[in-house]
Copies of this chain bind each other. A is one copy, B any other.
């Protein structure tokens, strides 16, 4: 049904011009499956302990893009999977992602005043951690019901890589001497690993040959890296700010992302002192974010971050070439293409 609808949409020739439109298009193409993913999510995040569905629902139900489970569903369409295991596993992927978000938002004493409306602000650190643990365990219970040791292996490995990446990110935080390689290692771990597993498991349940499995994994992985690079660039985008979107979160946290690494390296002594004060010493005043963006633009730190993203995006798109052309392939291609273009 959903597929016919989306084919109609394509026939109507609605041109896709942005990553948001491409994502909407994919949403339509996987909507029937996504409805079942949502059913599983709602059913399995339930608990007689009321705080669990309350807190989990805050994050899960409050309309995220569901990008990661969407990748599993799209992967299943690429390999023409006819079964029904993928929707349950896509729900696992979303549970793991949500658990990660809940844990990622836990704050240390030092930044208790960040003041975002995240779950930890509304309920406190401890419930966020424990509900994250619950979702994480629930994800494993669901995977075990599915019964594939290979799927379990891929997703448990992704989980430990994510945790490792988050700790690495913490280790290099506020350190401007972080090499670009370490930054890349962080985003490969904390973002790309789950994208990779999410797409790869579609080929696993469809029992496709290894080359297709690896192609899906490669697509997920490289799209994940590109996605995170763009995300890190957008956090300093003046254009995003004019669109009313939040910018500067990373700056306020003193997070070491590629735009900062590049601007710091390319800056003169005065500029480096500015970065040391704002990012290392976390001594920030009004106007500092604008100045940071200005310095990044001067040194093309943002456009070069997108340039790096374009490299990984190209690899992701080439990985898709193995699959027969269909609407899903076209849409995934569009998403990656517009994703790396959305910043400019």
- Chain A positions within 8 Å of B, measured between CB atoms, are 47, 49-52, 99-100, 103, 106-110, 112, 124-127, 129-131, 133-134, 136-138, 140-141, 144, 147, 149, 152-153, 156-157, 159-160, 162-164, 166-168, 170-171
CB proximity of A122 to chain B, nearest CB, Å = 12
Contact across chains for A130 and B166 when beta carbons are under 8 A apart: yes
User: Within the assembled complex, what's the spacing in Å between the Cα atoms of A105 and B125?
Assistant: 11
Question: Which residues does chain B contribute within 8 Å of A47, judged by CB atoms?
Answer: 164, 167
14 A-B contacts (beta carbon < 8 Å)? A50-B171, A51-B170, A106-B129, A108-B124, A109-B112, A130-B170, A133-B166, A134-B163, A134-B164, A136-B159, A137-B156, A137-B159, A141-B157, A144-B156
Most buried by B among A109, A126, A152, A166: A126
Contact across chains for A126 and B140 when beta carbons are under 8 A apart: no
Question: Which residues does chain B contribute within 8 Å of A100, judged by CB atoms?
Answer: 133
Contact across chains for A106 and B133 when beta carbons are under 8 A apart: no
- Main SS at interface, chain A: helix
Contact across chains for A107 and B126 when beta carbons are under 8 A apart: yes
- When A106-B125, A126-B108 are in contact, do A152 and B160 touch as well, CB less than 8 Å? no
- When A110-B124, A144-B149, A152-B140 are in contact, do A49 and B164 touch as well, CB less than 8 Å? yes
User: Within the assembled complex, what's the spacing in Å between the Cα atoms of A144 and B143?
Assistant: 11
Contact across chains for B131 and A159 when beta carbons are under 8 A apart: no
Question: Which residues does chain B contribute within 8 Å of A134, judged by CB atoms?
Answer: 160, 163-164, 167
Question: Which residues does chain B contribute within 8 Å of A136, judged by CB atoms?
Answer: 133, 136, 159, 163
Contact across chains for A130 and B149 when beta carbons are under 8 A apart: no
Question: Which residues does chain B contribute within 8 Å of A140, judged by CB atoms?
Answer: 140, 152, 156, 159-160
Question: Which residues does chain B contribute within 8 Å of A157, judged by CB atoms?
Answer: 137, 141
**Which of these, B51, B108, B163, contacts A133 with CB under 8 Å?**
B163
Question: Which residues does chain B contribute within 8 Å of A137, judged by CB atoms?
Answer: 156-157, 159-160, 162-163
User: Within the assembled complex, what's the spacing in Å between the Cα atoms of A136 and B167?
Assistant: 14
**Which of these, B52, B125, B133, contacts A107 with CB under 8 Å?**
B125
CB proximity of A178 to chain B, nearest CB, Å = 13
Most buried by B among A109, A129, A147: A129
Question: Which residues does chain B contribute within 8 Å of A167, judged by CB atoms?
Answer: 47, 49, 51-52, 127, 130-131, 134
